[in-house]
Amino acid sequence: MKNIVLVLALLILSVAGFKAQANSYVDTYPKVTKVYVNSGGLALIRIESHDNWLELGKVGDAKTDAWVAIALAAALSGKKTWIRYYPSTSGYPRVSILSVSA
């Protein structure tokens, strides 16, 4: 019985830790340098402080389409953007655009 309780406690703690890690993010304020949609339909951006492509999401999704429009406006205007960066272990790092500086 003790073993079952111990295993359940460890399982609950590991799931809680995974959820906390999945919700972790970093806010950054760079300029968008490039906006690109690849052949797979992923909207990608490059920012001045990062050498690799960052994923906004799949084109056709309402949020992604809005972020693409904001990213294009930011890239054309040269303004800094408030970008929320979600670390990824596979594929492109995922980001969302929260605002563009005035």
Which tokens belong to 44?
């990608």
> pLDDT (tens digit, 9 = 90+) per residue, 57-75?
999 999 999 999 999 999 9
> pLDDT (tens digit, 9 = 90+) per residue, 91-101?
898 999 988 88
Alpha-carbon span 23 to 72, nearest angstrom? 27
The strand ranges marked E within the chain are 26-28, 32-37, 42-47, 54-58, 81-86, 94-100
Please tell me the chain's helix, strand, coil percentages from 3-state DSSP, rounded to the nearest 5. 35, 35, 25
> pLDDT (tens digit, 9 = 90+) per residue, 21-61?
456 888 889 999 999 999 999 999 999 988 889 999 999 99
Alpha-carbon span 17 to 96, nearest angstrom? 23
> Any idea which residue has 């309780």 for tokens?
5
Per-domain residue ranges for the chain? 25-100
Taken in order 76, 81, 86, 88, the sign of the CA dihedral is positive
Answer yes or no: CATH 2.40.50 is held by domain 25-100: yes
At 30 the pLDDT is 92
The reported pTM is 0.72
Alpha-carbon span 102 to 45, nearest angstrom? 20
